[in-house]
Amino acid sequence: MTDSGQIESGQIESGQIELTGRSLHPGRADAPLIQLEQPLSFWGGVDAAGTVVEARHPQYGIRLAGAVVAMPTGRGSSSSTAVLAELIRAGTAPAGLLLAERDTILVTGALVAAEIYGRWMPIVELSDSDFSRLATGRAVALTAGLAPSPVQVRVDSCTDTPERIRS
Amino acid sequence: MLAGRAGEAAAMCMRIVTGVARASGAERLQPVVSAHADGCLYHGVAGLDFTERLVELGGKVAVRTTLNVGSLDLLHPGLVRADPTLATNGRRLMDAHVALGCEQTWSCAPYQSGHRPARGAHVAWAESNAITFVNSVLGARSDRYGDFLDIAAAITGRVPYAGLHRDQARRATMVLDFSAVPERVLAHDAAWPAIGAFLGARAGTRVAALTGLPGDLADGGVTEDRLKALGATAASSGGVALFHVVGVTPEAPTLDAVLVPGAPTVSVRAGDLRAARDQLSTATGDRLDAVSLGTPHFSLAEFAALADELLTGPVFCPSVDVYVSTSRGVLALAEQAGYLAPVLASGARILTDTCTYVTPVLSDHVSVAMTNSGKWAWYAPANLGVDTVLGSLRECVASARAGKVVRDDRLWAD
């Protein structure tokens, strides 16, 4: 997974934005976006189906499985590594993570899932200002290479994203 | 190592260590002298697959490695009410860690079971309270390591040179000043988890210097156990991995020695600590079903204090289940010292190798539990579905005897 993907040149339709992030862990994602309003600990905060079960979280009950999840930071327990790896194994993990702050706990879980199951769930760090331009309900396409290479993150207003990235 | 000359397990672990190093921007790896691994608590099949793969590939730890709690009490097998999956997979996960060459400490307080890294030593420790203790109280250096990276560091003997391994990340960027809090309040042992909760809420993941607190780390364990309670609560409620107590902890002989110039100061009052304690108490009324002591695991000094409380007075009320969690190492010492007999005679149950908030131990009828641990009080409502009351060791004993919550709130007055 060393290729960083090439963005097809062409007209940016209205509602599309392109952001440049930094890879924390390689992988590809093309999925609807869920933006978490507050940090979340995967340990104790997400159940086996990939649903937020932390009672204090404002988005309690939202399902993260298969979505690109943007979260400010990964607060809390260091056992979140094991919980994330287990979600990736079970197929109930997010399709990718966008973080405003680097988080080695989540990276460790993703690295182990890649080693053991060959599944690569990308993790990308965005600047605070880019992070604030994201919104739930949009669609995200990205291909992250080896950390810390730059990553083009395409955010679209439409939830049905055609293939925009060729490797 | 990446090329496999040290074996396939070491190569896989080195790919994980370097993968994290790339993400964290570390320019190089740092050798470590010890590790404390937290991956022996069962969280699902992935952790078991990973650890058993390391065993199959011939993995062995390269440095001294202690183990955190597992999902089972191997010495008292009837106490954990594990379902068949947890009983089988939890045991396989613990056995796999032993096969990798780890020591069977099974404790979140390895620093009180014989493993105390020297000041300035670089180590790879997991478990948030242990990380905070090794950094703050011992002055050794560990960044925050989670499951998998801990054992990968143990097998490679390397970590990314990042975070709290670096001098500049260990300096305080804020001051919490406790000189306005009366000595009488600070003599109350429940003040210390309350300080931890206040610190966690104010500092988040930042490093703070605490001024105006009494203490002497050579006083036989009183100060050490207070700072253990403080750090465990701050790590749970905030994400603190290092704090300095000026004049007490090893890196802070003076405020100037640890402070980033221009850092802001927050003045703390007794009422702030009382409010922090109240946030860790979700129960209202005086109903009490259980008492849990020993999170982090009870030390020998804490056993001595509990035995002292129990030497005279009635046994615990039969309607209150009392648990003391500790390490098997400390349990053996407590028995030799004569501290265990009065604890058992009062009706307490001893749990080793695991803890009451991470695995099913409490009876289904328990709806209100009291504890002297800010960490237990923080996690128990979500993990166990119980309401909590935070109190001092003496208040926990008085409540367990009375069969209802007994606290003396006059102690918290300004």
ipTM of the complex, rounded to two decimals? 0.86
Q: Mind telling me how many Å the CA of A76 is from chain B's nearest CA?
A: 6
Q: How far is CA B299 from CA A156, B220, B308, B322, in A?
A: 56, 11, 14, 17
User: In the CATH scheme, what is the code of domain B282-409?
Assistant: 3.30.499.10
Q: How far is A12 from chain B (nearest CA, A)?
A: 30
- Among A55, A111, A116, select the one facing B19 at the smallest CB separation: A111
In angstroms, what separates the C-alpha of B412 from chain A's closest C-alpha?
28
pTM: 0.91
Per CATH, the homologous superfamily of domain A16-162 is Phosphohistidine domain (3.50.30.10)
Give B162's contacts in chain A (Cβ within 8 Å): 104
Query: How many angstroms separate the CA atoms of B386 and B84, rounded?
Result: 24
Please name which of A79, A84, A83, A124 lies closest in space to residue A101, comparing C-alpha atoms: A124
Cα diameter, chain A: 45
What residues of chain B score a pLDDT lower than 70?
A: none
> A2 pLDDT exceeds 80?
no
pLDDT tens track for B254-276: 999 999 999 999 999 999 999 99
- The predicted structure's pLDDT at residue A12: 43
Contact B308, B393 (CB under 8 A): no
Query: Which residues in chain A are closer than 8 Å to B147, comparing Cβ atoms?
Result: 78-79, 81-82, 108-109
Of the pLDDT bands very low, low, confident and very high (cuts 50, 70, 90), residue A158 is: low
Question: Which of the 8 DSSP states describes residue B249?
Answer: S
pLDDT at B102: 98
pLDDT digits 0-9 by tens, A3-60: 443 444 333 445 789 999 999 999 999 999 999 998 888 988 899 999 999 877 899 9
A111 touches chain B (CB under 8 A): yes
* Mutation for testing the B interface, residue in A79, A92, A102, A103 having most B CBs under 10 Å: A79
Q: Quick one: pLDDT at residue A76?
A: 61
Active site residues of A: 77
User: How far A118 CA sits from the closest chain B CA (Å)?
Assistant: 12
Residue closest to A48 by CA, chosen among A10, A91, A12: A91
Specify the pLDDT at position A117.
Answer: 98
Residues of B with CB under 8 A from a CB of A: 12, 15-16, 19-20, 22-25, 38-39, 41, 43-47, 49-50, 53, 126-128, 144-149, 160, 162, 239, 379, 382-383
Both tokens of B237, joined, read 């409620």
How far apart are alpha carbons A104 and B5 in whole angstroms? 27
Cβ–Cβ gap B22/A113 under 8 Å: no
| Chain A residue with Cα closest to B52 | A116
For residue B89, the chain A residues in CB contact (below 8 A) are none
CB distance B147–A76 less than 8 Å? Answer: no
Residues of A in contact with B25 (CB under 8 A): 102, 148
Residue A159, chain B, CB below 8 Å: the answer is no
Nearest to A147 among B22, B47, B53 (CB): B22
The single-letter code of the amino acid at A45 is G
Give the pLDDT confidence score for residue B346 in this predicted structure: 97
Q: Which CATH code fits B8-168? A: 3.30.499
pLDDT tens digit string along B273-316?
999 999 999 999 999 999 999 999 999 999 999 999 999 999 99
Contact (CB<8Å) B147/A78: yes
Say which DSSP state A165 is in.
E
For B41, name the nearest residue in chain A, comparing CA atoms only.
A79
Distance (Å) from the alpha carbon of B237 to chain A's nearest alpha carbon: 8
Distance CA A138, CA A68 (A): 10
The structure tokens 């850092």 sit at B263
pLDDT of residue B279: 92
Rg (CA), chain A: 15
Instruction: List pLDDT tens digits, range A106-123.
Output: 999 999 999 999 999 999
Length of chain A as a residue count: 167
For the stretch A90-106, pLDDT in tens is 999 999 999 998 888 89
8 Å CB contact of A111 and B12: no
Q: pLDDT band for position A1 (50/70/90)?
A: very low
Chain A with chain B: Cβ pairs closer than 8 A: 112
Residue A75 pLDDT grade (very low, low, confident, very high; cuts 50, 70, 90): low
Distance from CA of B404 to the nearest CA of A (A): 28
> Is the minimum CB–CB distance between A100 and chain B shorter than 8 Å?
no
What are the structural domain ranges in chain B? 8-168, 171-278, 282-409
Contact across the interface for B145 and A55, Cβ inside 8 Å: no
Q: Do A104 and B20 touch (CB under 8 A)?
A: yes
Quickly count: other Cβ atoms within 10 Å of residue B142's Cβ.
31
pLDDT of residue A136: 86
Q: Compare all CA atoms of chain B with the CA of A45 and give the residue at the minimum distance.
A: B382
Q: CB-side exposure of B325: number of CA atoms within 13 Å?
A: 31
Tokens of residue B260, six digits: 């980033």
* Beta strand B158-160 pairing with B64-67: unpaired
Contact B53 A116 (CB under 8 A): yes
